[in-house]
């Protein structure tokens, strides 16, 4: 994105102000349900708050180390 006005406008928006298109919910509702990928507004904000701790850097690092250890164990057996 190179238009400074567009960048300013998007920076001032909250993600639940922008929302997901209703066509996404209609076309892929059976696949996605009402999860974070297809939800809007307060439902999206609640779901994001619930999963946010899983993406804290310390948890990501621990999970990465665990995967590396498991790969090493697999390669040794």
* Closest residue by Cα to residue 33 from 17, 19, 44: 44
The range of the structural domain enclosing residue 10 comes to 4-76
Position 6 scores a pLDDT of: 72
Give yes or no for residue 70 having a pLDDT over 80: yes
The total of structural domains in the chain comes to 1
C-alpha pair distances (Å), 21 with each of 18, 34, 77: 9, 13, 49
Please write the tens of the pLDDT for every residue from 36-47: 777 777 888 888
* Helix and strand counts by DSSP (H, E) for the chain: 5, 0
Please write the tens of the pLDDT for every residue from 10-50: 666 655 555 666 666 677 777 777 777 777 778 888 888 88
Higher pLDDT, 7 or 13: 7
Position 18 scores a pLDDT of: 59
Task: Indicate the pTM of the whole model.
Answer: 0.44
Position 33 scores a pLDDT of: 76
């Amino acid at each position: 994105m190179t238009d400074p006005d567009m960048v300013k406008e998007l920076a001032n928006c909250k993600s639940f102000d922008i929302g997901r298109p209703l066509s996404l919910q209609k076309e892929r509702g059976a696949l996605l349900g009402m999860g974070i990928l297809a939800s809007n507004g307060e439902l999206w904000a609640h779901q994001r708050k619930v999963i946010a701790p899983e993406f804290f850097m310390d948890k990501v690092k621990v999970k990465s180390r665990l995967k590396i250890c498991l790969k090493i164990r697999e390669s040794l057996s």
